[in-house]
Structure formats: C-alpha cells, structure tokens
Amino acid sequence: EHCQCFPQESTKMRIKLAQVLIRDRQRPVAALRVLEEIPAGALPADLESTRQKLASKAKRMLEEGVLELEGDD
C-alpha cells in the first residue's frame, strides 16, 4: 500500500518487499515484478547491488522449479 501511495519514496520499501517475497513467501515472480517497478538509476550503488542479488535469487528459484499460484497477491 505504501508503494502505491508514495511511489517516489518507495524504492527502499520495494527492496524490502522483494526480500520478504523471496525469503519468507517463496514468491519469485511477485518479487521480480516489485523489483521491475524501481526506476533505473533510482538506487544508490549499495541498494542496486542488493536489487541485482535479489533478482538473481528470484530467477534461480524459478529455474529450480519453485511454483507460484496466480492470484496469490
């Protein structure tokens, strides 16, 4: 909800949300969607590195066959 109401200030929140979706919820597709919403150049170098690591982890989960039910938002 925060990300929708305050899109300009939500980049750090999106990183945290993606982390939770990957680590706790096993939802790599949803995490990738959240990460894609972060505008290019919006993150400092350390958070950009975190974003890339999370995206890689989500893609690896998909390659390993982690299934995510549609409509589980």
Cα 56 to Cα 5, 6, 15: the distances in Å are 28, 26, 13
With a threshold of 0.85, does the pTM exceed it? Answer: no
Answer for the pair 35, 27: CB distance below 8 angstroms, yes or no.
Answer: no
pLDDT tens for the 73 residues of the chain, in order: 554 565 556 888 899 999 999 999 999 999 999 999 998 888 999 999 999 999 999 999 999 999 887 655 5
